[in-house]
Structure 1
Amino acid sequence: MVILYFLIGFISSVIGAMAGLGGGTIIKPVLDFAGHYDLETIGILSASTVMAMSTMSLVLMKTTEEKVDFKVSLLIAAGSIIGGLIGKGVFNFYVVNLESADMIGIIQSGLLALLLIIIYVYFKLDRFVTSYKITNKVIIFSTGLLLGLLSAFLGIGGGPLNVAILALLFSMTGREAVINSTFIIFFSQFASLVLVTFTTSFQGIDLTMLPYMIIGGIAGGCAGNILLFRLSSKAIRSIFSLTILVIVLVNIYNLVKGV
């Protein structure tokens, strides 16, 4: 079990840091598939691992020439924090207060599969899609709000959503989108964990595997960051697309199993 959960944290974080998926997009459906924990525990394991990965990635990125577009990313991050709090609040209300975990699990798997399919198609056809360079602060903040709400409710960290939106609305290259997505993920996951701390204090939640997943997240963040600057943008996009396809299949399986 220890080795399994370390590898889940490590492999997810390597791909997450390298391709901008955040790790949670992989961790959440994989832990659902494993079936060892309830939704609330999975959400905390995923958020904590992604937080560890994004922290390590950002520390290492300080030594590179690639920079975060603070004008855009800080506004999106601010919106994603508020959206994250709302999304996590909705999740906690239905799962904890109304005890509707089974229904929410089905909704999460279905919605995540649908969003990932849309993102996959977008990146395959993006040469036919006009990208923009939005500067309106209200729109940028609102974009972060929506991303934070969806990612917190789905428990995924928001990686692929961030990358797609950053490419579409702000004309960022693959590597630029990955770096800025990691920056946004850090703040959204931090807000999510703060909310959980003050609302549940982690009572009644089995976090036995959490240290091993965090270690995997830190190690994966280091490895993924190294690969990010050694692989071409084309290779990163290929890994991004392949990973999304695999996760879509896992989510469809989880959806069918839940129904």
Structure 2
Amino acid sequence: MLHSRETYQPSPSFTQPEMITIILLYLLIALLASVVGSMAGLGGGIIIKPLLDFFNDYDLPTIGVLSAATVLAMATVSLIKLRISKVAIDRKNGFIIAFGSILGGFIGKWIFNFFVLEIGLEQLIGKIQASVLAILLLIIFIYIKFQKNMVTYQMKNKLGILLAGVLLGLIAAFLGIGGGPLNMALLIFFFSMDAKQASINSIYIIFFSQLSSLILVGTTTGFGSYDLSIIWYMILGGSIGGLIGSIFVQKLTSRRIERIFNIVIVIMILINIYNVVKG
């Protein structure tokens, strides 16, 4: 048992005007993050998690659930839309990575729950998340920016693909981001995909990783102790954003998707740096 509902204190209640403002703000965040996340293969969690940390209306565990539910909604709608449009997805390797990310996701979420819910290090873990995320995003930005000058591979070893998925899932679950930019970098580096191919296949992997994250919460701590009053608004924003983003990704060139990816990464690096140094 990771924690009891009696010992965990959910986020404080809000007044009606505050709640209306939060609903509108978070609906907009979910919508815009999911449009960009679906379009650039980021998944949305990389945007939602730091922004919710920035506004600081909810505690860290609740932010993780809100982000995962929104990203899952986005990925589901995006995959349905892409399937109807018959867009090519590398399901064979994608499934192996996804399976590995599910295993890694359980481990990463367990580590997060242990330090935050059992030991009570929420503030420290929040700083660690923002710091690691900023460093990872910087590395990924440099790699994507200069990928044309770097060697890429065509990985065939199934065990290697599985282990890569486990590492992705572990990092993504602990950071609460869904794994989008990590997926993009891995797919480009290990499978020589261009930005457009990687963005599409990244969404496929994200679907399974976020589903496993929510299943873990449901089967361990349960959802009753979290303040999820705005979750359906965020799921709505994620669903609409996934639909819009999946339409854009079919129309945009790989170069434009890469440019959007890089711009978003830079913005999120700055927000994560702020989240580290604030208060």
TM-score of the superposed pair, with normalisation by structure 2: 0.91
Which one-letter code corresponds to 1:222 in the other structure? Answer: L
1:202 positional shift: 1.4
Aligned pair count reads 258
Task: Work out whether 1:23 is the aligned partner of 2:16.
Answer: no
1:218 to 239, 255, 268: 239
Task: Work out whether 1:34 is the aligned partner of 2:61.
Answer: no
The 5 Å alignment of 1:1-259 reads: 1-257=22-278
1:179 positional shift: 1.2
Which one-letter code corresponds to 2:94 in the other structure? Answer: S
- Residues 198-237 of structure 1: per-residue CA shift (max 9 Å, x gap): 1111132110110100000000000001110111111111
1:70 positional shift: 1.6
Q: Distance in 2 between matches of 1:179 and 1:236?
A: 11
Q: If you compute each CA radius of gyration, which structure gives the higher value, 1 or 2?
A: 2
1:64 positional shift: 2.2
Q: Distance in 2 between matches of 1:205 and 1:58?
A: 28
Q: Distance in 2 between matches of 1:248 and 1:70?
A: 31
Which one-letter code corresponds to 1:198 in the other structure? Answer: T
* Contact 1:84–1:152, Cα closer than 8 Å, also in 2: yes
Measured on the aligned residues, the alpha-carbon RMSD in Å equals 0.8
Which one-letter code corresponds to 2:179 in the other structure? Answer: G
Q: Distance in 2 between matches of 1:175 and 1:66?
A: 11
1:2 positional shift: 1.4
Which one-letter code corresponds to 2:57 in the other structure? Answer: H
Which one-letter code corresponds to 2:38 in the other structure? Answer: A
Q: Percent identity?
A: 51
Which one-letter code corresponds to 2:111 in the other structure? Answer: V
2:10 aligned residue: none
- Shift >4 Å, 4+ stretches: none
Q: Distance in 1 between matches of 2:91 and 2:249?
A: 20
Which one-letter code corresponds to 1:149 in the other structure? Answer: L
Unaligned runs of 5+ in 1: none
2:4 aligned residue: none
1:66 positional shift: 2.2
